[in-house]
Chains A and B, each alone.
Chain A
């Protein structure tokens, strides 16, 4: 069962613009994580936000979490061509010690 659902499925923007991706989930969580996947490679962890946190920053990444709406957003500021990748959110199923991944957002940064 898919816990996280990303929106949009695909996003294409110009280099230098900001990119926003959204994730919704269904059940209570302890934390939500975002991952990046470059073509032909494995996933790389970007950031983890706990259920008692509302916002977290890491470099050009900003993640928000709204537990009342069961949603999260990932903002990438000042996008670069190297940011072209698929981005996935993942949640823990109420402490089940496992992550459930969404289907991902495919981000394309046009030079």
Chain B
């Protein structure tokens, strides 16, 4: 079934550790996104990529990095996790940015202790 796969589905991590959240899509979409969802704050954009080889910063990029080496994969890395990064992380993709519907994965629930 075509869609977005995120891994892991959940993770408990010690503060200070490095963590990479994986995201793969098989729809050949050009644009991909990473959001975090926190209670009372909705979804906030962390980083995005309009096409392979390019990335951009969203609303809350500090403490996170991304890469887009190919069309299908868009990993999100926490270089040194802090408790405030405890959240649910969603990866999404769209044919193009902005005017196109986004397709979401089912999220990674990350707890930083």
Residues of B within 8 A of A41 (CB): 106-107
Contact B50 A42 (CB under 8 A): no
| Complex CA–CA separation, A88 to B90 (angstroms) | 15
Of B40, B48, B59, B102, which is in contact with the most chain A CB atoms at under 10 Å from its CB?
Answer: B102
Residues of B within 8 A of A44 (CB): 104
Interface size on A, residues (CB 8 A): 26
| Complex CA–CA separation, A98 to B105 (angstroms) | 17
Contact B102 A43 (CB under 8 A): yes
Report A16-31 CB contacts with B as 1/0, cut-off 8 Å. 0000000000000011
Q: Check B61 for interface membership: any CB of A closer than 8 A.
A: no
Contact A42 B42 (CB under 8 A): no
Q: Check A95 for interface membership: any CB of B closer than 8 A.
A: yes
Q: Closest CB of chain B to A33's CB: distance in Å?
A: 6
Contact A30 B42 (CB under 8 A): no
| Complex CA–CA separation, A33 to B100 (angstroms) | 9
Q: Check B31 for interface membership: any CB of A closer than 8 A.
A: yes
Residues of B within 8 A of A35 (CB): 102
**With A31-B98, A31-B99, A103-B40 given, can you name 17 additional A-B contacts, CB distance below 8 Å?**
A2-B42, A33-B102, A42-B4, A43-B43, A43-B102, A43-B104, A45-B101, A48-B101, A92-B98, A96-B98, A97-B48, A97-B98, A98-B45, A99-B98, A100-B45, A101-B35, A101-B42
- Would you mind naming 29 contact pairs between A and B with Cβ atoms under 8 Å apart? A30-B98, A41-B106, A42-B4, A42-B90, A42-B104, A42-B106, A42-B107, A43-B43, A43-B102, A44-B104, A45-B101, A50-B99, A88-B42, A92-B98, A97-B31, A97-B48, A97-B50, A97-B97, A98-B45, A98-B48, A98-B98, A99-B45, A99-B98, A99-B102, A100-B59, A101-B42, A101-B43, A101-B44, A103-B40
